[in-house]
Structure formats: C-alpha cells, structure tokens
Amino acid sequence: MNWFFLFLAGIFEIGWPLGFKLSQTTSYKISSLLFSGISMALSGLFLWMAQKTIPIGTAYAVWTGIGAAGTFLVGILLFKDPSDFFRIASATLIILGVIGLRFSH
C-alpha cells in the first residue's frame, strides 16, 4: 500500500508546477494557484504516508522522479515544450531509475 501512496505523491507532485504554469497562461490565476497549493499538500501527505515503510532516499528519489518525468511529459503534451531526442532520452533515464529503485527495494 505504501508504494501506492508513493505513486499518488508523485502524481500530485506533477500538479503543483502545472497549476503554476496555468496561473501564468490562463485567466484562472487564483484557482490555478489554489490547485497548486492543494497538490503540494497532498503530495507531501502521501510522501509522508509512504515513508512509513519505504526508505527515505528511495521514497524521495521515486517521488521526485515521477514528478520530474510527469511534468516533462505534461509540458510536451500541453504546452508544446521541446521534445528533441536528448530531452526524451534523458527523461527516459529518470523513468528507468525510478523503475530500478522500485524493483530493488
């Protein structure tokens, strides 16, 4: 169950930079910032819950990896961020690292 909490923490970790970006690119500034704040709080809560049995270093690396790779993907899909070979290869390495940490635990 704690790995599920860690996954949720990573998903909510994607939410707060998304909310920041939306507050800059839409007219929904207050609701986007509120979305960011709620995402931060939930991300922290689920990370805290996951760390009950998952080592702190593993939990933190997986949490930030999901957040970084997920935000990278959101940027490409929603905001037309660059998607050249080296950026995608680098993000793939982050994802492979997260998978490696999960299965080495």
By percentage, how much of the chain surpasses pLDDT 70?
Answer: 100
Burial 62-87 (b: 16+ CB within 10 A, else e): bbbbbbbbbbbbbbeeeeeeeeeeee
DSSP 54: S
Q: Which residues contact 9 (CB under 8 A, 6 or more apart)?
A: 42, 43, 44, 45, 46, 47, 49, 50, 63, 66
pLDDT in tens, the chain (105 residues): 999 999 999 999 999 999 999 999 999 999 999 999 999 999 999 999 999 999 999 999 999 999 999 999 999 999 999 999 999 999 999 999 999 999 987
For the entire predicted model, the pTM comes to 0.91
Range of the domain at 8: 2-104
- How many domains would you assign to the chain? 1
